[in-house]
Amino acid sequence: MLTEVTATRYLTPLRSGGSVPGVFETDDLGTYVVKFTGSAQGRKALVAEVIVGELARALGLRFPELVLVDFDPAVAADEPHQEVRELHAASAGTNLGMDYLPGARDFTPEVAEVFPVDPVEAGRIVWLDALTVNVDRTVHSSNLMVWPTLGVAPPRLWLIDHGAALVFHHRWGTSDPAKAYDFRHHALGGHGPDVRAADAELAPKVTEELLRSLTAEVPDAWLAGDPDFATPDAAREAYVAYLHARVRASARWLPTDFPGAAELAAENARRAARTRQGRPAWLKNVPDLHGRPAAEQDWSVHLG
């Protein structure tokens, strides 16, 4: 089960994501990015974070440790922004913490040019995202971090932010577990992901027993109230059944059609041109944030 800790000190909000998580110190002397139950994405985003993040760890992928954080809004009483204070007030109790990776950098297309990605590892990550229907790991928003910092050996890819995965749990009963999704613009699609090898390696590991152990880590309070299920345990069994059915149908959804590096570069150039055409004249010479060279990038940590 996930470790339970208590938030003791508020450090800062993270505004790079729509959920506005916060960085907190806790009574285990750790520092965590805390995602709140009161955010606009709701509790189902936290359910997805737990199930997919812990599945990634079980399959040998790098994912920061998760903890359950007991949060008293009084700890963050000095937060100056009213909308963030309102979020905190709506999130008293058990929230989700992700171990903070100090100095980590976003895996952007510019970083990818100097950070080689193993096709085997790329295949495993793409396979996980396809299995869990994670639609939020694209070339424009990778939700991947490079940590430790480049130049410190050996930097590695870390997965973060799975709140947008498990899209089927927003429409139980109408989603086909064998449905294929368009993963052509996956953040690692241009790195030759060996998804067939990943399927052969990982699919046998995703058993009903493993899935039950993962769903057991989700607090009852985050599953209660779902109109599709009478009890939290009934909801857990639905996740197990859906994901187990999906892994058995991998031959029907396995993504293999990825654009090459040249095709991606051409598409990014077209996108940048469209963006610049839509700017007023006085902005025409201001660099596009997505098109700047790596040396000019803002390497702020993105954990939201």
3-13/66-71 β-pairing: parallel
In whole angstroms, what separates CA 178 from the centre of its chain?
22
Q: What is the mean pLDDT of residues 277-285?
A: 53
- For residue 155, whether the previous peptide bond is cis, meaning omega lies within 30 degrees of 0, is no
Q: pLDDT of 252-261, one tens digit each?
A: 999 998 876 6
Q: How confident is the model at residue 296 (pLDDT cuts 50, 70, 90)?
A: very low
**Count of alpha carbons within 13 Å of 81, Cβ hemisphere only?**
10
Whether the CB-CB separation of 25 and 62 falls below 8 Å is answered with no
Q: Which amino acid would we find at residue 88?
A: H
Q: How confident is the model at residue 266 (pLDDT cuts 50, 70, 90)?
A: confident
Rounded alpha-carbon distances, angstroms, from residue 38 to 8, 88, 135: 19, 7, 22
Euclidean distance between CA atoms 106 and 124, whole angstroms:
19
**Count of alpha carbons within 13 Å of 7, Cβ hemisphere only?**
32
Sign of the torsion angle spanned by Cα atoms 285, 286, 287, 290: negative
Q: Is the pLDDT of residue 279 over 60?
A: no
pTM of the complete model: 0.86
Q: pLDDT of 42-90, one tens digit each?
A: 999 999 999 999 999 999 999 999 999 999 999 999 999 999 999 999 9
Q: pLDDT of 181-226, one tens digit each?
A: 999 889 999 899 999 999 999 999 999 999 999 999 999 999 998 8
Nearest to 211 by CA among 176, 168, 242: 242
- Which letter, b or e, does each residue of 261-291 get, where b requires 16 or more Cβ atoms within 10 Å of its Cβ? eeebeeeeeeeeeeeeeeeeeeeeeeeeeeb
User: Which residue matches tokens 């938030």?
Assistant: 7
Rounded alpha-carbon distances, angstroms, from residue 207 to 45, 203, 211: 23, 8, 6
Nearest to 147 by CA among 117, 104, 110, 114: 104
